[in-house]
Amino acid sequence: NPFLNFFLCLFAQHQEKFLHYGITSPISLAQAKEADLVLTHRLTEALKPYGVFEEELELQRRIHVLGKLNTLVKEWIRDVSETKNLPASVIETVGGKIFTFGSYRLGVHTKGADIDALCVAPRHVERTDFFSSFLDKLKEQEEVKDLRAVEEAFVPVIKLSFDSIEIDILFARLALQTIPENLDLRDDGLLKNLDIRCIRSLNGCRVTDEILHLVPNIENFRLTLRTIKLWAKRHNIYSNILGFLGGVSWAMLVARTCQLYPNAVASTLVHKFFLVFSKWEWPNPVLLKQPEDCNLNLPVWDPRVTPSDRYHLMPIITPAYPQQNSTYNVSASTRAVMVDEFKQGLAITDDILQSKAEWSKLFEAPNFFEKYKHYIVLLASAPTEKQHLEWVGLVESKIRILVGNLEKNEFITLAHVNPQSFPGPKESREKEEVSTMWVIGVIFKKMEASENLNVDLTIDIQSFTDTVYRQAMNSKMFEADMKIQAMHVKRRQLHQLLPNLVMPKRRKHSTEGLRQMNDSSLDLSLDSDNSMSVPSPTAMPATVPTSTPVKCGPLGPPPSPLAAAAGQPEAPAVKRPVVINCSVGLAVPRSMRTVCPRRCLLLKGKARWRQILRYQCTLFFCLPLSLSVCLLSLSASHFHNSCLKSVQIIFYTVYISTLVCLLLVLQPNYNLIILLFPQRMVSADLSDVPLLPANPIPVVKNSIKLRLSR
């Protein structure tokens, strides 16, 4: 019936007009105005200097490389099929294909970025074939460099450089006899009868394809995502491994914004992005579509079923089955930092839309090293470049544990790790060593008036190092001279450790080597810590005097306290001496304070000069007074004609005047005693410290104790 078809077409157009993406209806369906298009053009021009757009020639080279790789995969699968005696008719149609995912598949990759790829093979091709015969085939290619396989990883991968383009290749074997060219990986039925490693490998492609399928306008989505990713990197909040958001999480947030404003262009979407997520009520999850259950008994994110999911602070749920939270690494501190950046981004984009600022202001990098007063510097070092690469990767993957430990400390409000790492200083010129350094900004809780705060971070840091060493030994990666060191550094001292381009020197100081760290100084004359350096008592026998300087040396993983408590045998001890790291900022332990006068801690900075001024004023007041009393005493002595009596009067007068002077200076505390009469500690009472085990594993005790004053 033509009339029925006509009405059906009208109904379909009507339905399409009101079709919405996501789990809710749009916030606004407003079309873009001319001013919005102008702002979008300006945004595109502002992005170009940062290299977020790849030239057409480079893009064609990537396509050419992927084509070569796809051909290699097809040839390899045919070879494997022949060795397994498949019929010739099947071998010709067996197929095989390379899929891409990540930033390249989303169309937002930058210049020089790597490519995430997935090799999909039919059911008769095993994973062992991929890591053996396919790896050998890659070795035969002249364009392939830096080839390495990571078969034991959570998601097994082959890494290589193909014609100077970095590529990571995953592997998935489907339960299909052949792999067609038009295969759609979003089909949930493909997950049946697959092992968990193949499901994990497929997840990246499935999530990326779903995101592109769930946004109303792909071009607007891509330009918005390029903007947000650049902003996040410039503001040091782009790192999934350190507790911020990774590429797929930022993509899902931008995709949700596009769903809420389906007709908006990129300039409007950037502003709405900051508006939506600066006011988002976390931990309400961000969902691009309603979760579906495929009855495959795979674990999915569901706080109603899984108790651990209830503790996720910033859940962003992947749209493909099995749905997972892509931000499980986010902590209270990293979420607070990101929400604060969202609010600042909203204020800047408000000014941009009102023509009060340019887009370049959005990409201005804040100075992380001027933001906080206190910092924890983490240093990971290894003797060779190859060992260092593996060691740094492990340490970096566990830094979020250290941030979590610091957050649990009752005296710490926030711990903000900078995702950017820096080359660490060498311990000595003669010793070959490669090191990497991370910086964590720390905010301590505000203290009440006249309250001093003693903070001990030793347990928090030692728990982190225990975890790293334990995993290194379990994975058989640990080697001698792999070290982790942690120290407290104030803002004024950072320039001694960081490169000049990051933190220009304020004054002339020697920065060669780790002498500042090992001597627990870091030029403490510049800004002391109201404390003194003391080795950790649990890392040394009671006979060692604390005045003996102890230098850092090789270290190994510490003994597990859980294993010791359970009576389990420890890992074999490495025959190296026990060494102790005297970190900067160690406070005097309680057992040692009995040796010193009451509260005999060094003053610093302005407080020190105020106390000296107070002392001088009191001295100038008391000395004339005592001299006047002396003169009166002398006249009285002449009057009575008694020399002995006059000497006694003079002595007692000066003595009493001096006591009055000191009492006026040193009340209500005795901080000046150490300033006037320095005392050197010779020994400490360590009788309450347990003895070391018979064969301890060598370890650097990263002890950090602070005394904070108002």
CA 633 vs. chain centroid, Å, equals 72
Cα(531)–Cα(444) distance, rounded to whole angstroms?
Answer: 17
* Distance, CA of 699 to CA of 674 (rounded, Å): 33
Distance in angstroms (rounded) separating the CA atoms of residues 701 and 709:
26
* Type of residue numbered 21: Y
The one catalytic residue among 21, 238, 372, 375? 238
Contacts of 214 (CB under 8 A, 6+ apart): 21, 22, 255, 259, 288, 289, 319
356 is catalytic: no
Task: Look up residue 438 and give its two tokens.
Answer: 């991370």
Which of 97, 201, 209, 229 is an active site residue? 229
Which amino acid is it at 575? K
Q: Which of 116, 209, 460, 466 is catalytic?
A: 116
229 catalytically annotated: yes
CA distance 70 to 77: 11
Q: Of 103, 331, 333, 703, which residue is the catalytic one?
A: 103
Beta-strand runs (E) in 174-320? none
Secondary structure of residue 191 in the 3-state scheme: helix
Q: What is the rounded CA–CA span in Å between residue 137 and residue 74?
A: 12
d(CA 576, CA 572): 12
What is the rounded CA–CA span in Å between residue 599 and residue 669? 7
**Strand, helix or coil for residue 525:** coil
d(CA 225, CA 218): 10
What does 12-76 look like in DSSP terms, one character per residue?
A: HHHHHHT---SSS--S--PPPPHHHHHHHHHHHHHHGGGT-S--HHHHHHHHHHHHHHHHHHHHH
The C-alpha atoms of residue 72 and residue 463 are separated, in whole angstroms, by: 47
Core vs surface per residue 109-124: b (16+ CB within 10 A) or e: beeebebbbbbbbbee
Catalytic residue among 50, 68, 74, 114: 114
Give the integer Cα–Cα distance in Å for 198 and 181. 19
293 given a catalytic annotation? no
Nearest CA to 490 out of 653, 606, 374 is that of: 374
Is residue 168 part of the annotated active site? The answer reads yes
Q: By the 8 A CB rule, do 492 and 527 touch?
A: yes
The closest of 484, 493, 486 to 521, measured between CA atoms, is: 493
Q: What is the DSSP code (8-state) at residue 179?
A: B
Report which residue type is found at 111. K
Strands 705-708, 453-456: pairing is antiparallel
Catalytic residue among 168, 340, 350, 523, which?
168
Residue 281 CA to chain centroid, in angstroms? Answer: 24
- Alpha helices in 123-195, H assignment, sequence order: 127-129, 135-139
Enzyme catalytic residues: 103, 114, 116, 168, 229, 238
